[in-house]
Amino acid sequence: MHAQDEPADGPADELALGLADRFEAHRDRLRSVAHRMLGSFSEAEDAVQEAWLRLTRGGTDDVENLGGWLTTVVSRICLDMLRSRASRREDLAGHPVPDETPDPDRGGDPEQEALLVDSVGRALLVVLDRLGPAERAAFVLHDMFAVPFDEIAPIVDRSPATTKKLASRARQKVRGAAPTLPGTELARQRRVVEAFLTASRAGDIDGVLAVLAPDVVRRADRAAVPPDRPGEIRGARAVAEEIAAFGRNSRFAEPALVGGRVGIVVAPQGRLRLVVAVTVVGERITAYELIADPARLHRLDLAVLDAVLPLGG
């Protein structure tokens, strides 16, 4: 629920209306901060709304910088939500992960969520989700929103020096280990993988065949395919025909570094559901594996392919 503009009946109402207008001026930035910290549109909306409630309860008499104050409040709310989420995941260890599809009744506008996910990048959201709560907060606030470390430190309850180390550690995880392959090789792999994704999204079987080796092998763990589909398929034609099914999910896919090589993450709403580990030889895909088993996904070394993020301090 947004702060609503209503007719002002007196001085108190005028003050409330003015406060709502000032809050609305910061809403988009607050939503962006919360979404990057939480990776969930509906949870981000909840965090922003909670910040509004705290503002109306506390007033602004002692607030010199409203934007900075609201960013701090939203960040603390998000950090609490991340810690609670981490505790739930520990409790659910060994059990199926619950579906976290956005709820329209809680602000989960699929179109707006898709725009937010695309603006951040699915691969980045996937990697951010692997960071600890304090790491994620430090990285998002500093590297993505240029908040100084001395302002982040009280939010994560660390010293500025330790906060700087948190962000540095998170940055390294986002970028992954130093690549063992030269940049030219990664660029070539990326071209092939992106051509594969483009053809898959379009349902272009000929385009898919153009990037598959004749003897390509598709493997999959049992969590990645329905029971009636084989764990292994061989041959370009058989694999390409199956792409029609994968193509429905390819709109949620994005290239990423998987074990130091270019692969694919499939992440609806930015939540990892499938990894495609791709083997590229020359200009063709010779094999790929669909990985969806939660334990295997957890062990994978994933990083953002485009490390075009601010280096930070």
User: What type of residue is 186?
Assistant: L
User: What type of residue is 233?
Assistant: I
Q: Which residues of 83-112 are buried (b: 16+ CB within 10 A; e: fewer)?
A: eebeeeeeeeeeeeeeeeebeeeebbeeee
Its pTM stands at 0.80
Q: Measured between alpha carbons, how far is 8 from 13 in angstroms, rounded to an integer?
A: 5
What pLDDT is attached to residue 177?
A: 73
Per-residue pLDDT reduced to its tens digit, 35-67 = 999 988 889 999 999 999 999 887 766 778 999
Percent of residues, the chain, with pLDDT higher than 90: 58
- Considering the segment(s) 11-175 as one domain, its CATH architecture is Up-down Bundle (1.20)
Per-residue pLDDT reduced to its tens digit, 222-233 = 999 888 889 999
Q: Which residue has the tokens 């791709």?
A: 278
Is pLDDT at 97 greater than 50 in this prediction?
Answer: no
The fold adopted by the segment(s) 183-303 is Nuclear Transport Factor 2; Chain: A, (3.10.450)
What are the sequence ranges of the domains in the chain? 11-175, 183-303
